[in-house]
Structure 1
Amino acid sequence: MESDELARRLEAMPGYRVLRALNVDIGDAELPIPAPGQRIAAVVDTETTGLDPDVDRTVEVAIQRFTFDRAGQIVAIERVRSWLEDPGRAMPERLTALTGLTDADLAGQRFDDAAIVKLIGEADFVIAHNAAFDRPFLDLRFPPLRRLPWACSLSQLDWLALGFDGRSLGHLLLQGGWFFQGHRAGNDVAALTALLGLKVASDRTILSHLLERAEAASIRIEAVGAPFDAKDLLKGAGYRWDARRRFWWREAEEVGLPSEVDWLEQNVYRGRGRANLRPITARERFARDT
């Protein structure tokens, strides 16, 4: 019996759900020229030697580009491209265990800067599943890419409202009906592309929901000079600590800004200062200097 037929029969039985292996090798060798009204997205992922872009090095970059239409539906997909680079230091054992990348794999390797900058630089949007992590590493390693618009499928989607529980890429993919070998950049971008193309209960793709959020301007509220004893209050209200510039911050939509400012003045500053307010778009969001 053919495997697809067997899977369909098993899915029809109560108590069973079939997971299919994600095909990470699909896509055109070169993305067709977009038709009028279509745009290009570049799904990216990095593997690094650690968490700090000032200290650690990027050792793998993977890209999968696709074109999409005005409704956020994926029209054409380009095959995954990936590159390795020798960081000039030993890979931490834990990261080798996680990614499978060894010092021998990386020895003498070098990114193709021109190809990476061209592929990502032609995109109308760069998408990652943790843009706050990936963007600083890519911005530092490839300065020509610093002003591109970014979207983050981890932080800018309400996965629960979309019918999923959890936010990790592997878990989301399982709920979408696939399994894959994660923690290598090439596989991760293929997994995210597959998820973005799914339609949810709204009869819209996940990509369309992400773009709606990413393209909306917001205000970055920087609680500069907030009293130390307000830290728990700020953290509980969703503010994050910027260790490099040493202040608490969060993003807010313009519609809720006046009430947020009032809350800060009454509960945090109490007449001893005020927050900085900065408009943020997809071009600045997730960058280190935002």
Structure 2
Amino acid sequence: MDVWDAEKAAARLEDSGRYKVLRKLVPRPIISRGESRFPRLALLVDTETTGLQHARDEVIEIGAIAFTYDDDGRIGDVVDVYGGLQQPSAPIPAEITRLTGITDDMVAGQALEMAKLDALIEPADLVLAHNAAFDRPFCEKLTPSFIPKAWACSVKEINWAELGFEGNKLGYLVGQSGLFHDGHRATDDCHALLEVLAGSQGDAGRTPFAQLLQASAAQRVRIFAQNSPFDMKDHLKNRGYRWSDGSDGRPKAWWIEVDEDLYDAELRYLRTEIYRWEDADPLTLRLSAHDRFRMG
């Protein structure tokens, strides 16, 4: 009797050109930090929360994977994993339960092990998240250990389309990487994103993580078009400026964030097209990975 070989069967289906086969994601084994030959340490985090507003909503789950890497963007080994639930101060909204699968019964009496989480954070050279602008404020509220860290965002700082992906949602990325997983739980999503980041993509064969690492190391400039003429708002919006109403600590103004080498061109645009005053000097903030994606 022939022995069933699932991988050979999958390969035959793929070779036919009529099928695409997804393989179930298997988390990497955990080894000790001292066993890994890769010199750097990163922490990949994901949070599930009671809502979108960090000022009033709460973390109900966090997942974190500590992994090693080198300066060329090669991912090494998983050296620690943490996942935990936490009971919020009010019942979880029904929509959040529908999206995450987390119920009030699951979090009843649960609390995060902050000492263990802090122990993962403190030695990390880099913290990354898939939408760091969402996760970083929640994480910084959770523990001050996150505050001084350099952060990277795998949504904003990787050109997924250039790498052949159809979108930047995690489900698209995982599926197009030939994998499937149990989504919407924090630790599961961390394992999935790690494999996507480690995959070789594009003509140069660079990993998405290598692109992320390079982008996070670059300085960016945030420009606030304060007191810009009201009738210029559509021009600013069409150019990619976003409106800040001042409620998050930022100035009340249209703003944009650009690479350092694009700053002069952006300043020239504001002076000639918006303010029409050659000495206009809009508020400018230079941001490193330590500053980006944080509250305010």
| TM-score of the superposed pair, with normalisation by structure 2 | 0.92
1:140 Cα offset (Å): 1.4
Residue 181 of structure 1 pairs with residue 147 of structure 2? no
Residue 231 of structure 1 pairs with residue 233 of structure 2? yes
1:186 Cα offset (Å): 0.9
Structure-2 residue corresponding to 1:109:
110
Structure-2 residue corresponding to 1:266:
272
SS in 2 for 1:134: helix
1:70 Cα offset (Å): 2.4
SS in 2 for 1:80: strand
User: How do 1:200-279 and structure 2 match up within 5 A?
Assistant: 200-201=201-202, 202-243=204-245, 244=247, 245=250, 246-271=252-277, 274-279=281-286
| One-letter amino acid of the counterpart of residue 42, structure 2 | A
Which blocks of at least 5 consecutive residues in structure 1 are unaligned? Answer: none
The match for 1:17 among 20, 23, 30 is: 20
1:83 Cα offset (Å): 0.9
Confirm or deny: 8 A CA contact 1:47 1:61 kept in the other structure: yes
Confirm or deny: 8 A CA contact 1:32 1:76 kept in the other structure: no
Answer with 96-105 or 115-124: which moved more. 115-124
SS in 1 for 2:168: coil
1:32 Cα offset (Å): 3.5
**Identity score, percent:** 38
Structure-2 residue corresponding to 1:97:
98
| One-letter amino acid of the counterpart of residue 41, structure 2 | I
Structure-2 residue corresponding to 1:47:
48
Confirm or deny: 8 A CA contact 1:224 1:274 kept in the other structure: no
Which blocks of at least 5 consecutive residues in structure 2 are unaligned? Answer: none
Answer with 246-255 or 160-169: which moved more. 246-255
Paired with 1:191 and 1:74, the residues of 2 have a C-alpha distance of 14
Paired with 1:15 and 1:208, the residues of 2 have a C-alpha distance of 33
Residue 287 of structure 1 pairs with residue 288 of structure 2? no
1:9 Cα offset (Å): 1.2
| One-letter amino acid of the counterpart of residue 283, structure 1 | H
1:229 Cα offset (Å): 2.5
Alignment coverage as a number of residue pairs: 287
1:27 Cα offset (Å): 2.2
Answer with 235-244 or 164-173: which moved more. 235-244
Answer with 260-269 or 52-61: which moved more. 260-269
Q: 1:29 to 1:90 in 2, by over 3 A?
A: farther
SS in 2 for 1:78: strand
SS in 2 for 1:127: strand
Paired with 2:139 and 2:70, the residues of 1 have a C-alpha distance of 27
Structure-2 residue corresponding to 1:128:
129
1:13 Cα offset (Å): 0.8
| One-letter amino acid of the counterpart of residue 44, structure 1 | V
Q: 1:270 to 1:33 in 2, by over 3 A?
A: farther
| One-letter amino acid of the counterpart of residue 286, structure 1 | F
Paired with 2:212 and 2:80, the residues of 1 have a C-alpha distance of 22
Paired with 1:13 and 1:34, the residues of 2 have a C-alpha distance of 39
Confirm or deny: 8 A CA contact 2:240 2:256 kept in the other structure: yes
Answer with 44-53 or 231-240: which moved more. 231-240
Structure-1 residue corresponding to 2:194:
193
1:254 Cα offset (Å): 2.0
